[in-house]
Amino acid sequence: MSYNLNYNNKENETNLDSVFNDRVADQNVIAKYITKVYGWMFLALCLTGITAFLVASSDFALQIMGSSRFIFFGLFLLQLFLVGFLSLRIHKMSSGTATAIFLGYSVLTGITFSVLLLAYPATLLAQTFGITAGTFAAMSAVGYFTKKDLTSFGRLMMMGLVGIIIASVVNFFTQSATLYWIISYVGVAVFVGLIAYDTQKIKQYALLEAEEDRKKGAIMGALALYLDFINLFLMLIRILGGGRKD
């Protein structure tokens, strides 16, 4: 009896060691995957910033951008189309195609963001970028390290995002100053929450079985975090934009 008990204890210890090693291996895989996702996101942000600077520095590009409101509106619609197309069709495209669309979207965003370089002073833009980056890092850490399932929280944030979109459309016609500020502050709260939620969701992509699926998941994760960062920056610049250039 004593022999069997000792044997079972050894077997249990072996099983526990195996489970522990598997968990450690999973954590290492997730950490490497998250690093890759953030690499794609950082590249996209760099492309957006470089493109915005080049367009804002080009009189010819600005002349084309300012020649008609329909051009800017058309670029905005194209951005929405690319995000929607990538989100809905990524399962039918290769990871290379998804990557190209994602990077193309970041360049397109840079074109439309060029107006910010003309509308706001560089010090305000730098300050807002710093605040955005710091907030993003903090909430990413929350999403990565928390043990709590943020699925329900994420659904709440998505509902808030839908509300922001609807309110923004309404305010496009009403031009209400009160609604403008409500959208801005609620928008900051929503995108701060989405950063944590999206970070946690990306961890699940790292454990997908198929390599191609993991690559696509990395692009979709990078896109989600990129959009969170960009939109948080936009909401903060609306709030801190008292230093708008004349």
Structure-block tokens of residue 208: 């997908």
Query: Which own/partner contact pairs does 32-37 have at CB distance under 8 Å and 24+ positions apart?
Result: 32/206, 33/202, 33/203, 33/205, 33/206, 33/214, 33/218, 34/144, 34/199, 34/202, 34/203, 34/206, 36/218, 37/202, 37/205, 37/218, 37/221, 37/222, 37/225
Domains of the chain, by residue range, sit at 2-243
Q: Please tell me the pTM assigned to this model.
A: 0.83
Tens of each residue's pLDDT in the chain, 246 residues: 433 444 455 544 444 344 334 455 578 888 899 999 999 999 999 999 999 999 988 887 677 766 666 776 777 788 888 888 888 888 888 989 999 999 999 999 999 888 888 889 989 999 999 999 999 999 999 999 998 989 899 999 999 999 998 998 898 888 889 999 999 999 999 999 999 999 999 988 888 888 888 999 999 999 999 999 999 999 999 999 854 444
What does the DSSP 8-state code read for residue 57?
A: T
